[in-house]
Amino acid sequence: MQNFKVDEDNDGARLDRWTKRFLPDVPHSMLNRMLRKGQMRVNGKKVEANFRLKKGDEIVLKGGLLGEWETNKSGTGKKKRPKGERAEIDDVKADPQEMIKDFEKLIIFENNDYVIINKPSGLPSQGGTGIKVSVDDMIGAVSERYKLVHRLDRDTSGVLAIAKKTTAAAAFSKLLQNKETTKIYWALVRGVPPKMKGVIKLSLAKRGDKMEKVEVDDADGKKSITEYTVIERLGKEMSWLELSPITGRTHQLRVHCAAIGCPIIGDGKYGGADAFDKGLSNKLHLHARRLVVKQLGIDVTAKLPPHMKSIEPNV
């Protein structure tokens, strides 16, 4: 058993970010398991990874999955892998300084209140089971005050905004709620829509044991609206679409495109075999191209990722 006291410098820090600082070898997936099993507690209580710590809080680490961890306040640590633990734990390298460097390479806009990055495909916005590093982890290494103000799916690339302080995050969130922001996506899809411009109005509902899939459900689904424009036709086989989500449902663009017979290339989940092409990457061809928030002086465009750039539209 190990005990830690939260000092003044970490007053207000999230537990997962405190862990990255003082237990750098503990990946987010293991932290979540420890918390679920009560092997890490704060003031004797089970909490979640986003729990906000206060000065004087006592963090207690017990045995079990944790094993014998040797830690110190300098941010270094060594571990012995418990018997039966997955070998991948030893491969996790989420060094805070490296994360800061990687994050800085992604920045395409910055002012006093916001940082905007061009998120690569495959990098999750937030952590979770099996995720080694997320954007949330990266910004936590930069500053405890940084906050994601919206999210992108793991496999969607492009514009992602981060607020540098709470007041900036609140301002952005309010504009999102009032639909005073403009998000524009580019997608390479199979086929060509019947009209060059149109509006897709199909209600969506989550399905599955873990609510991991979204389906069109006009009876019980939530109102979902997407505007689209065909920006280039590649014969009859494929086309480039500009997509503007009026609502922000999970997987909305992917499901809406598939529903009109134009699945996004690389989206096997909703498009099946039609979503793949021998001459193209199997990665999802969906990119958050532009973000406009006039009230905040933001108008940012993100370049296409390498797997989409080889077939970039002529616009």
Active site residues: 153
Type of residue at 185: Y
Q: Please state the separation of Cα 228 from the chain's center in Å.
A: 24
The answer for residues whose C-beta is within 8 angstroms of residue 135's C-beta and 6 or more apart is 103, 117, 119, 123, 124, 125, 126, 148, 160, 162
Are 25 and 85 in contact by the 8 Å Cβ rule? The answer is no
118 burial via Cβ count (<10 Å: 0-12, 13-18, 19+)? buried
Q: How many other C-beta atoms are found inside a 10 Å radius of the C-beta of residue 311?
A: 18
**What is the crossing angle of helices 96-106 and 135-142, to 10°?**
110
Place of tokens 């949330």: 136
Q: Which helix (H) or strand (E) holds 259?
A: helix 252-259
| CA dihedral sign, ordered 105, 108, 183, 185 | negative
User: What secondary structure letter does DSSP report for 195?
Assistant: S
Are 121 and 307 in contact by the 8 Å Cβ rule? The answer is yes
Angstrom distance (rounded) from CA 166 to CA 8: 19
Q: For 146, left (φ over 0), alpha (ψ -120 to 50), or beta?
A: beta
Q: Which two tokens stand for residue 120?
A: 């690569």
Place of tokens 């495109």: 257
